[in-house]
Amino acid sequence: MAQIFIDTASVEEIREAASWGVLDGVTTNPTLMMRAGAADLKANTLKIVEIVQGPVSAEVLSTNAAGMVEEARDILSWSEHVYVKIPTTVEGLKAMKEIASWPNGRINATLIFSPTQAYLVARAGASFASIFVGRMDDAGLDGMEVVRQTREIFDNYGFDCQVLAASIRHNGHVLDSLLAGADILTVPFTVLQKMIYSPFTDVGVERFLADWEKVAGKE
């Protein structure tokens, strides 16, 4: 089964999505925190954890390994549900290797744009490899191909690291990620709404009710 995460820091959106009963986790990043007006990363992350009780990713701001490791130590101590998001750079890789050796070393390797980056973060011990599909498509590349190739590589070598399709822009990305065998999809709230909506379903419900009224009205 593919897990569904919501890609937002908005507590209102998360609360609504959680009420649908199909939400497994949440991914945030500094941009999403900024959009949600959440200046206190710890407080907002813990509010989200309380709602979801599943994996919630919070990102480091440091760009050197020592700084990332220090931030990760703090972030991971907030809750057993929190995953630390580390960018996939050389410094990030060094930090991942160190963090993965801790008993609570839950890592979401972020900003992945190639299967070789995904291979390296799996080697370093990341739990999730976040592949930024939409940003690649925006740049005229085939983002979904990176998801497919990463799936194949992880299966070839039996890596535990989960393929996370991120930067999802529309329902087509959702469908292709599911067909490509992604373990997790992180979707904006607007895309989650599109996943459930069909005008035919609404018309179908209206017709059923109208027909029922015709019979019920005769009694």
* Residue with Cβ nearer ligand E4P (41 or 157): 41
Rounded least distance, CB 85 to ligand E4P, Å: 7
Rounded to a whole number of angstroms, the minimum distance from the CB of residue 134 to ligand E4P is: 5
Residue of 47, 85, 97, 194 with catalytic role: 85
Name the residue among 55, 28, 22 with its Cα closest to residue 41: 28
Return contacts of 47-50, CB within 8 angstroms, 24+ apart: 47/11, 48/9, 48/11, 48/14, 49/78, 49/79, 49/81, 49/82
Distance CA 135, CA 74 (A): 30
Q: Shortest approach of ligand E4P to residue 48 CB, angstroms?
A: 13
- Cα(151)–Cα(156) distance, rounded to whole angstroms? 9
- Name the residues that contact ligand E4P, by CB under 6 A: 7, 27, 29, 110, 130, 132, 134-135, 166-167, 186
Q: Give the 3-state secondary structure of 87-100.
A: ECCHHHHHHHHHHC
Task: For residue 9, give both structure tokens.
Answer: 């820091």
Smallest separation (angstroms) from ligand E4P to the CB of 215: 49
85 is catalytic: yes
* DSSP output for 31-43: HHHHHTT---HHH
Nearer to ligand E4P, 27 or 44 (CB): 27
Q: Between 89 and 198, whose beta carbon lies closer to ligand E4P?
A: 89
**Structure token digits, residue 76:** 């991971």
Count of positions (residues) in the chain: 219
**How far is the C-alpha of 31 from the C-alpha of 27, rounded, in Å?**
11
Nearest CB to ligand E4P, comparing residues 177 and 208? 177
Cβ 136 to ligand E4P shortest distance, Å: 9
- Looking at the Cβ atoms of 85 and 208, the one nearer to ligand E4P is 85
Point out the residues that are catalytic: 85
